[in-house]
Amino acid sequence: MSVCIIGAGVAGCCAAIQAARSGEECLLVEKSALPGGTLTTGGVACPGLFHAWGGKQVIAGIGWELVKECVELAGTSMPDFSAFDMNYFWHYQVPVNPVIFSCLCDQKFKEAGVKVHYHTMLAGLKRENNLWKITLCGKDGLYEVTADTVIDCSGDANAVKMAGFAVEAPGECQPGTSSVRCTGYDASTLDWDALRAAFYEAMEKGEIIPEDVGWSKGFSWLFLQRYGENANHIHFPADKWSTPEGRSGMEIAGREALLRVYKFLKKQPGFEKLYMRYVGMECGVRESRTISGKVTITEADFLAEKHYDDAVCYGFYPVDLHDDKEFIIKRLLSEGIVPQVPMGALIPQGSEALLAAGRIIASDRMANSAVRIQATCMATGQAAGAISALCKRHNVSTDELDINLLRQELVKHGAIVPEQQ
Ligand SMILES: Cc1cc2nc3c(=O)[nH]c(=O)nc-3n(C[C@H](O)[C@H](O)[C@H](O)COP(=O)(O)OP(=O)(O)OC[C@H]3O[C@@H](n4cnc5c(N)ncnc54)[C@H](O)[C@@H]3O)c2cc1C
């Protein structure tokens, strides 16, 4: 095996498709039953941002191909990117149907020749004789595969940590979100005053809490306006999230919140036909570990559009940290700024033939709240796939790889790479 990719979130999907299209034998390992990660199993299907100031496209490639095909198949429309306004940046994300997204990924894996192992989890890995010996856990127990390169797209830096390289974990974590899709009511016809009064009464009785239906400790109807998608906050202790008990506790807390909302709404006029029809199978995690990379993207560098000789993609999104005390901490990008992502942020310090992509790339906490966004995860995934393929093709290490070759490979496959100065 040339490359083994751990995790089929948006980063892993793009990494696998790119590596296979570049001619590599590639195995994609995913613990759940479908691709997409937070976009599908987490129920947050609004990837962004692909377009920047004046509507100029800054991220394309495999991620954009998937998003565009989803929109075309669904017959929905794209936002008007030319009207881009940083104050309303979220309006320029592209809602996609998560079911179609996962089906398209499978189709593209097949066409490109990606080998996929769903229902399989990474159990360990070690480097021996210039190869990764990877232990996986399938339904019948442990088995081994070997690969020249491993790309960690687990969202939690599991492979990097298991391989013994340093990772960073924040002392406190942004809340997660248990996402659902509701039907059976019309938000435009609701009696908001009556609902607010009923809500406060239920709150007094301890039947519901504000963060069940919104992102703040105050009153909010985000949940109803969004029909349940990405509209609550589930808290979990940062030091516990990676333990089986901590992670399970988070899932249970998410479903408890959904049940409270359901029971409350079912009693209100207008919700007689309320139906929770699609729940993200996992509580969406905004923040966990990042790698200690050769280069760390800092908030200051991100906001100042630091230029890197080894830039692999742009990462256009404001700093956007969901915070317990201050609600959401936002630092909008100044006019004209389009931040860059260097290849060094994808390489764990001191590692060999090991890459990381997606929300775990080396970045400080504030920068991470921007680069964790799906379009950027897709672009870093595609870059990691191309790096692994080129290193194999030219028999070089990541340090020796000619950045111009990488640029050419990415552009050949539709990606946008920042110009070198
Ligand atoms: C509530 C919420 C709202 C958000 N809103 C937006 C938004 O509106 N727009 C936007 O663009 N982004 C948004 N984001 C950010 C974005 O969705 C994520 O940061 C991004 O999708 C992460 O992609 P990823 O591929 O790096 O990781 P993930 O999506 O976490 O994918 C990791 C994959 O790896 C698998 N995996 C994990 N560990 C293992 C293992 N050990 N072995 C095998 N498989 C494993 C997982 O099952 C998963 O499929 C939001 C995130 C959250 C949580």
Q: Is 39 in the pocket of ligand 1 (CB under 6 A)?
A: yes
Cα of 192 vs centre of ligand 1, distance in Å, is 33
For the segment 120-135, the average pLDDT, to the nearest whole number, is 97
Which of 62, 106, 154, 258 for a ligand 1 pocket mutation test, highest count of atoms within 8 Å of Cβ?
154
Q: Which ligand 1 atom minimizes the distance to the CA of 36?
A: 49
Query: 155: CA distance to ligand 1 center in Å?
Result: 6
Range with lowest mean pLDDT among 195-199, 318-322, 326-330, 389-393 = 326-330
Span 18-42, average pLDDT: 97
Q: Say what the pLDDT of residue 165 is.
A: 98
Whether the CB of 348 sits within 6 Å of ligand 1: no
Which tens digits make up the pLDDT trace of 335-351? 999 999 999 999 999 99
| Ligand 1 probe mutation, 28, 38, 179, 372, most atoms within 8 A of CB | 38
Which residue lies with its CA nearest to atom 14 of ligand 1?
A: 373
Percent of the chain with pLDDT over 90: 90
Which residue in the block uniquely carries the two structure tokens 């280069």? 295
The predicted model gives 81-107 an average pLDDT of 97
Domain extents in the chain: 3-170+287-412, 180-279
Which residue has the CA at smallest separation from atom 20 of ligand 1? 374
Q: How far is the CA of 29 from the centre of ligand 1 (A)?
A: 15
pTM above 0.85, yes or no: yes
Q: How far is the CA of 38 from the centre of ligand 1 (A)?
A: 4
Predicted pLDDT at 420 = 74
Q: Which CATH code fits 3-170+287-412?
A: 3.50.50.60
Question: Has residue 381 got a pLDDT over 90?
Answer: yes
- Under the banding of pLDDT at 50, 70 and 90, the label for residue 124 is very high
Residue whose CA is at the smallest distance from ligand 1 atom 34: 7
pLDDT of residue 421: 63
DSSP 32: S
pLDDT of residue 278: 78
Q: Model confidence over 167-203: pLDDT tens digits?
A: 999 888 899 999 999 999 999 999 999 999 999 999 9
Q: 156 CA distance to ligand 1 centroid (A)? A: 9
Residue nearest to atom 30 of ligand 1 (CA): 155
For residue 381, give the ligand 1 atom closest to its CA.
Answer: 25
pLDDT given at position 279: 80
Q: Which of 84-88, 188-192, 275-279, 284-288 has the lowest mean pLDDT?
A: 275-279
Confidence label for 277 from pLDDT (cuts 50, 70 and 90): confident
Quick check: 379 and 15 in contact, CB under 8 A? no
Instruction: Give me the mean pLDDT over the 391-412 stretch.
Output: 97
- Check residue 326 and give its pLDDT: 64
Q: Is there an atom of ligand 1 within 6 Å of 377 CB? A: yes
